Amino acid sequence: MGSLVQQKGFDLLMPVFANLHRTFNDCSLIILDPGPLETELKQETIRLGIDGFGFFLGRVINPFSV
């Protein structure tokens, strides 16, 4: 969880998740809350080939229900 801003390190998370997904292909990445980097990060999931496994759900009232 966290706003999609540079300080949160989501740009580092994407390639790490892509490597993880190569080994454990049944895992998913769920990102909550919007932010200025959302479009860029969605494009990164496509570039890394994990676009079907990374989900951007936006703002969620109860994150524990996801």
For residue 44 the two structure tokens come to 């990164």
The yes-or-no verdict on residue 2 having pLDDT over 70 is no
pLDDT-based confidence at 1, cuts 50/70/90?
A: low
Give me the phi and psi of 61, to 5 degrees please. Answer: -65, -45
> How far apart are alpha carbons 59 and 54 in whole angstroms?
16
In the chain, where the domains are located:
6-65
> What is the structure's pLDDT at 15?
94
Per-residue pLDDT tens digits for 16-36: 999 999 999 899 999 888 889
> How far apart are alpha carbons 40 and 54 in whole angstroms?
13
The yes-or-no verdict on residue 62 having pLDDT over 90 is no
